[in-house]
Chains A and B, each alone.
Chain A
């Protein structure tokens, strides 16, 4: 089978160039590498001949760490993956563990989780737009985006007390119910936000320089994107209709109406347009969730850290009780966690975030693998950037929307 990925590419030698190359190591400390990405470049003038992304500077060993902690405890690790959209990771993790356990969150919790996941998509896309624009040189958009992100972070703070690492969802539901005030404030934000999107678009969307820097740059075809394993807006920008929310709905995504924006060109501009449209769609999803928000409990009665108080079958073993109520191991005769493995994907702002668990029947995962979109997107950078200019590489890094915390784990 022939692979559609560009393996080698004839790099046109710039006119007047003697073909002499030199190497440039960009990062891990560089203003535009969004954290600690290192890119090893081979350059001919300013043209990139070879581009090798290097990751691992932010490796914290989450997957190994997870093996010695219970599923409930591992939730806080997911906050630190994609710290820009921690709430979406929380949701993804909980959905995965629930699938492993075979339980389902109550309807109200599922709606709330959909709301917070979409809010975190807004947060993430706002931060992406801010830094992407800053990379290309438009400074003001950066602060405008932060202005709106601030409102969302305040809302998160009201909801769960944290602004960055939320750990708000729990296996089988969410931790606290939404307040009336939160709903009102969120509604006010939803009314305000579309006009703000328009504001960003007037600043950059019709700007000739912006168009010149993005249209036709960093182009990637649909087949190539699939072969590279791209997901999220990077894949949809190339015209491939794939969105986990739509194709394998979880939480309340099956119950609300929304569209998956698609691009055709697969260039930086298409990815940009996709994400901008997603902002509109997220607003739409949150609005529907708020309107439909049903009453009821916010956490399932089968939730593992609730089994103890509600169902008298469980006994606390003295040697495990030091972990507090969160990690009560059950009577050995009743297995809460089944044997076997499960892979569950959710759509986080960056793409498809998958959790793969191998469970041996204890409350700790035997193995937890995280399929992080950023890691896979960074790998694509080497293919996309080859043959383009340094300035385009910067635009491409921004456009792939990578977070190193998620990539390096």
Chain B
């Protein structure tokens, strides 16, 4: 009975997240459109509201081309790996008090593991396509994920120290008595490092090197078409949402808000995720792209030392005053 209930919840969560992913693309196109003095989608439905559905239908019916020289099984599996890994990390996210599918004690580590796994999809896609652009995209992605995974992990150690747990629910609960019930202020350095690493981890501007359109055509997804391309796209957006959720849980106090909303306790959580999404989009509309070696410089020479400093500071404060 319990398992059945869990399955129902999984299906519900899947549908809700997919709907959000679809409309996140709309949200992005609309916001960027208005930032760039144009309108964005306007044709399908009122103010383009049905655009994501039209896009979905279109990519679903498109021909699924597999290049002759591609490594067929890997080529076919790569997008699935991406999507599955990203979807799996949704399981541990606490949307509100008790609104979590798997309340496990290593929640944060699990999310990290899954987001690293997702980068395998990207690397394998680049490798299996047997195209030089894809290959370069895959290589870039690998180097990028390895470097930024470290700084991201280190930036969250401060939060772990303060909360004393890796369980996401407990991290949120631990923030309840801090200022504005968030760790944003005591962990400002950590948040700074986390935010930049988050952009890099999700391959977003200014770190969108693996799919740098003007350099590598479309990077790792150059050879993909139809639904498989759409799956990469979905995985990217779910990745953005998961990272936004981790940011919300660890620094912005999760579901805590200025007042409680009894009929929908996840409101603040979702609101904060969308705040992050808006920042993602805003940055995309503003910044140019880093170069490959500069990205590495930034990661290893600035972010990782900063994150280490943050750990030391947090640990000292904790030992002295905590």
Residues of A within 8 A of B (CB): 22, 24, 30-32, 46, 133-140, 142-144, 147, 203-204, 207, 209-210, 212-213, 389-392, 394
Q: Does B178 contact A (CB under 8 A)?
A: no
The distance in angstroms between the C-alpha atoms of A42 and B246, with both chains bound, is: 42
Q: Given A209-B206, A212-B291, is A140 in contact with B214 using a C-beta cutoff of 8 Å? A: no
Which among B9-17, B74-82, B87-95, B280-288 touches the partner chain? B280-288
Docked-complex contact B214 and A138, CB < 8 angstroms: no
Q: Flag if A391 contacts B292 (CB, 8 Å).
A: yes
- CB <8 Å contact, A207 and B214: no
Residue B102 at the A interface, CB < 8 A? no
Counting chain B residues whose Cβ lies within 8 A of the other chain, the interface size class is 20 to 34
Report whether B291 and A213 are in contact in the complex, using a CB–CB cutoff of 8 Å.
Answer: yes
Q: Are A394 and B214 touching (Cβ within 8 A)?
A: yes
Of the listed stretches B18-26, B31-39, B60-68, B259-267, name the one at the interface; the rest are far from the partner chain.
B31-39
A209 touching B289, Cβ below 8 Å: yes
- Output the least CB separation between A65 and chain B (Å): 34
Top 5 closest pairs, chain A to chain B, by CB: A137-B289, A32-B214, A143-B36, A138-B288, A137-B288
The digit string for B189-225, where 1 denotes a CB below 8 A from any CB of A, is: 0000000000000000110100011111100000000
Minimum Cβ distance to chain A for residue B267 (Å):
31
Is B293 positioned at the interface, with any CB of A under 8 Å from its CB?
A: yes
**Nearest B-chain residue to A143, judged by Cβ:** B36
Expressed in whole angstroms, the Cα–Cα distance for A209 and B205 within the complex equals 11
- Given the known interface contacts A31-B214, A134-B214, A147-B37, the answer about A139 and B285 at a Cβ–Cβ threshold of 8 Å is yes
Query: Is A140 within 8 A of B286, CB to CB?
Result: yes
* Least CB distance, B205 to chain A, in whole angstroms: 6
Q: A133-B288, A137-B206, A144-B36 are in contact. Are A390 and B215 (CB under 8 A)?
A: yes
Determine which of A31, A147, A209 lies in contact with B287 in the assembled complex, contact meaning CB atoms within 8 Å: A209
**B274 at interface by CB-CB < 8 Å:** no
Nearest neighbor of A392 in chain B, beta-carbon distance: B291
In the complex, whether B303 has a CB less than 8 A from a CB of chain A is no
Q: Scan B173-193; emit 1 where CB is below 8 A from any A CB, else 0.
A: 000000000000000000000
A31-B217, A137-B212, A144-B37 as given contacts; A391 in contact with B291, CB under 8 Å: yes
The reply on B72 being an interface residue by CB < 8 A is: no
* B159 interface residue per 8 A CB criterion: no
Chain B residues near A46: list those with CB within 8 A.
Answer: 136, 292
B29 to A: closest C-beta gap in Å: 12
5 residue pairs from A and B, CB less than 8 Å apart? A31-B214, A136-B288, A137-B288, A140-B35, A391-B212
Beyond A31-B214, A137-B206, 9 additional contacts (C-beta under 8 Å) are A139-B36, A139-B205, A139-B284, A142-B36, A209-B290, A213-B290, A389-B293, A391-B212, A394-B214
Measured between alpha carbons, how far is A301 from B212 in the docked complex, in Å? 56
Q: Is the CB of A391 within 8 A of B215?
A: yes
**Complex CA–CA separation, A298 to B60 (angstroms):** 61
- In the complex, which residues 74-115 of chain B have their Cβ closer than 8 Å to any Cβ of chain A? none
Give chain A's interface secondary structure class.
helix
For the complex, give the distance between the alpha carbons of A144 and B290 in Å: 21
**Interface flag for B294 (CB, 8 Å):** yes
CA distance A147 to B208 in the complex (A): 26
Q: CB within 8 A of B294: which of A203, A207, A212? A: A212
Nearest to B297 among chain A residues (CB) is A212
CA distance A63 to B173 in the complex (A): 77
* B206–A31 CB distance below 8 A: no
Taking CB atoms, residues of chain A closer than 8 Å to B212 are: 137, 391
B206 smallest CB distance to A (angstroms): 6
The CA-CA distance from A363 to B287 in the complex, in Å, is 54
Q: B286 contacts which chain A residues (CB < 8 A)? A: 138, 140, 203
Tell me if B132 is interfacial: C-beta within 8 Å of chain A.
yes
Chain B residue nearest to A388 in the complex (CB): B291
Q: Is the CB of B288 within 8 A of A210?
A: yes
A142–B286 alpha-carbon span in the complex (Å): 11
Chain A residues, Cβ within 8 Å of B288 = 133, 136-138, 204, 207, 209-210, 213
Q: Please, how many angstroms separate the alpha-carbon atoms of A30 and B38 in the complex? A: 25
Max chain A CB contacts within 10 Å: which of B205, B206, B288, B292? B288
Our pick among B36, B136, B206, B294 for the contact of A390 (Cβ within 8 Å) is B136
Q: B36 is contacted by which of A24, A140, A209, A212 (Cβ under 8 Å)?
A: A140
- A137 and B208 form a contact (CB under 8 A): yes
- By the criterion CB–CB under 8 Å, are A394 and B36 in contact? no
Report yes or no: A394 in contact with B215, Cβ–Cβ below 8 A: yes
In the complex, which of the residues A138, A143, A212, A389 contacts B38, with contact meaning CB atoms closer than 8 Å? A143
* Cα A203 to Cα B287 with chains together (Å): 8
The smallest beta-carbon distance between B91 and chain A, in angstroms, is: 34
Given A140-B36, A389-B292, A390-B136: A135 touches B214 (CB 8 Å cut-off): yes
By a CB distance below 8 angstroms, the chain A residues around B285 are 139-140
Q: Are B38 and A136 in contact (CB under 8 A)?
A: no
B213: nearest chain-A partner, CB-CB: A31
User: How many angstroms from the CA of A207 to the CA of B289 in the assembled complex?
Assistant: 11
Contact among B132, B214, B292, B294 with A24 in the assembled complex (CB-CB below 8 Å): B132
> Within 8 Å CB of A140, what residues of B?
32, 35-36, 285-286
CB neighbours of A138 from chain B (8 A): 286-288
* Complex alpha-carbon distance, A286 and B37, angstroms: 27
Q: Would you list which residues of chain B between 275 and 318 have a CB under 8 Å from chain A?
A: 284-294
A30 to B214, CA, bound (A): 8
Residues of B near A31 (CB, < 8 A) are 213-214, 217
The residue of chain A having its C-beta at the shortest distance from the C-beta of B289 within the complex is A137
